[in-house]
Amino acid sequence: MSMSIEISFSKTAKISGGLVVALGSLSEPVSAAARSVDPAGQLDKAVKVSGFTGKPFSTADIIAPVEASADRIALVGAGDPGKLTPHDWMRVGGKMFTLIRKAEKVTVLLGDGGSASPEATADMALGLLMRAYSFDLYKTKKGEEDENGSRKLTVVIQHEDAAGCKKAFVSRQAIADGVKLARDLVNEPANVLGPVEFAARAKELEALGVEVEILTEKEMKKLKMEALLGVSLGSVRPPRLAIMKWQGGKPKDKPLAFVGKGVVFDTGGISIKPAAGMEDMKGDMGGAAAVTGLMHTLAARKAKVNVIGIIGLVENMPDGAAQRPGDIVRSMSGQTIEIINTDAEGRLVLCDALTYCQERFKPQFMINLATLTGAVMVALGQHHAGLFSNNDDLSQALSKAGETTQERVWRLPLDPAYDKMIDSKFADMKNTGGRYAGSITAAQFLKRFVGDTPWAHLDIAGTAMGSPSTDINQSWASGFGVRLLDELVRANYEG
């Protein structure tokens, strides 16, 4: 990694050299705190010249005035700080990172009057960390951003309630680390991250107190997971099912369950995909990455809840041993599936993982995440994930968490009329429903495997990767789902 960032909070700010970043508001673009660094009073003049007014998410970079105790002073606008949402504060932090990326030592001065609460300050720090993420493991030539190879950046944020900030930051650091894990897994190429290697990364969560079981091919055969195993037939790399267990609640409390599609690479199989853009299919394990990142976050912040994470890990390849269109497989549930298109493989992985999850753990709910259909991008683009659910309360709670975190979801319908589209001549169902409503028929397929358990399916094909750059993410992989589901758990299920 190019940079490690250490964030701390301090009641007092002893400034001797380094970079100072001050928060500016519309009513006070240059705060009293910023002025205190500039005894000669030249900052106001410099700000006037730069046009900085304190508008939210605006920045100004100023060479430190003579006599200043800092080498450089920079300003970040917070507009009317009292009106910023938690996500706005993250964006402020993201903007702040663009000013400090080349520094070694940074002191952050917040405005006076306690405009930034400890929570807001911690959100700002989270945004800073998320923006700072980059995946450059395979860049052998050092770019602009890491002139010194692996660098350390120390950020001290000055706040009257430093202890409160530090406390609020614990959960944000856990979120930053979970998002980083999810992004790393999605960015990692498939030659490095096969099913076995992914399972090993999940196993590393044991260091945080997560119990992790890895099922091998042999064990999955015993469980009759023929749908999942069918997808894996064309790959020389064996499949895995990873089960992660976090017991932060009362022993008897029913767990929440999160299930992820982990296709480490999706060629389409015998129904092979066109060459253009196929490299993106290294990210077809974005659902599994989000579940793994979420488990990291929940464990790292010691969430007071019982949670199960299950990820189905396979590779979808064309081969002499691969499954064919027309094949019929028997899922773990006993329901039979006619394979129409081997490229509709995600639902085949998920259906057995959902059956296993439900039978073994009897969870309060199951939420699955998957880069499931190209059609969801046609419907919603890259700014909302598709949400399908058999439960209005769960659906509403997810939508609310989406608004809070700005990892947004949009509910699409389920209906018996769509369900008919996947009936098969030869088996109980087929794995595709034709040209129309591709995301909905995929969801109808999954619905046949969840019984009465409250369930939601998030189709994250448009949001997990190839994401538009934002103030808090510049990486191909967004880590979508980690913050959304952490917020869902925090707001509704921790007593």
The answer to the question of residue 346 lying near Zn ion (CB under 5 A) is yes
The answer to the question of residue 284 lying near Zn ion (CB under 5 A) is yes
β-pair type (59-63, 328-330): unpaired
The answer to the question of residue 88 lying near Zn ion (CB under 5 A) is no
> Residue 167 burial (CB < 10 Å; 0-12/13-18/19+)?
middle
Closer to Zn ion by CB, 43 or 465: give it.
465
Interface residue with ligand BES among 69, 235, 297, 371 (CB under 6 A) is 371
Query: What CA–CA distances, in Å, run from 373 to 325, 383, 458?
Result: 18, 15, 11
Nearest residue relative to Zn ion (C-beta): 266
Q: What DSSP string runs through 5-26? A: EEEEEESS----SSEEEEEE-S
What the block records as the tokens of 468 is 């538009």
The answer to the question of residue 343 lying near Mn ion (CB under 5 A) is yes
Read off the DSSP letter of residue 210.
-
Closer to ligand BES by CB, 345 or 352: give it.
345
Which bin fits 473, alpha (ψ -120 to 50), beta or left (φ > 0)?
beta
CB of 425 to Zn ion, least distance (A): 25
User: Of 375, 363, 371, 360, which Cα lies nearest the Cα of 433?
Assistant: 375
Instruction: List all residues 6 or more positions away from 266 whose beta carbon is below 8 Å from its beta carbon.
Output: 273, 281, 284, 316, 343, 345, 346
CB of 283 to Mn ion, least distance (A): 12
The answer to the question of residue 432 lying near ligand BES (CB under 6 A) is yes
CB of 473 to ligand BES, least distance (A): 17
- Catalytic residue annotation: 273, 347
Helix (H, G, I), strand (E, B) or coil at 116: coil
Interface residue with Mn ion among 38, 88, 226, 266 (CB under 5 A) is 266
> Residue 140 burial (CB < 10 Å; 0-12/13-18/19+)?
exposed
* Positions 374 through 433 that interact with Mn ion (CB under 5 A): none
The answer to the question of residue 266 lying near Zn ion (CB under 5 A) is yes
Stretch touching Mn ion by CB under 5 A, among 19-27, 39-47, 164-172, 344-352: 344-352
Spatial distance between the Cα atoms of 180 and 342, rounded to a whole number of angstroms:
32
Compose the 216-255 pattern: x for residues touching Zn ion by CB under 5 A, - for all others.
----------------------------------------
Spatial distance between the Cα atoms of 235 and 214, rounded to a whole number of angstroms:
19
Compose the 322-361 pattern: x for residues touching ligand BES by CB under 6 A, - for all others.
-------------------x-xxxx---------------
Nearest residue relative to ligand BES (C-beta): 374
Interface residue with ligand BES among 58, 121, 134, 373 (CB under 6 A) is 373
- Residues near ligand BES (CB under 6 A) are 266, 284, 341, 343-346, 371, 373-375, 432, 438, 461
Contact residues toward Mn ion (CB under 5 A) are 266, 343, 345
Binding site for Zn ion (CB under 5 A): 263, 266, 284, 346
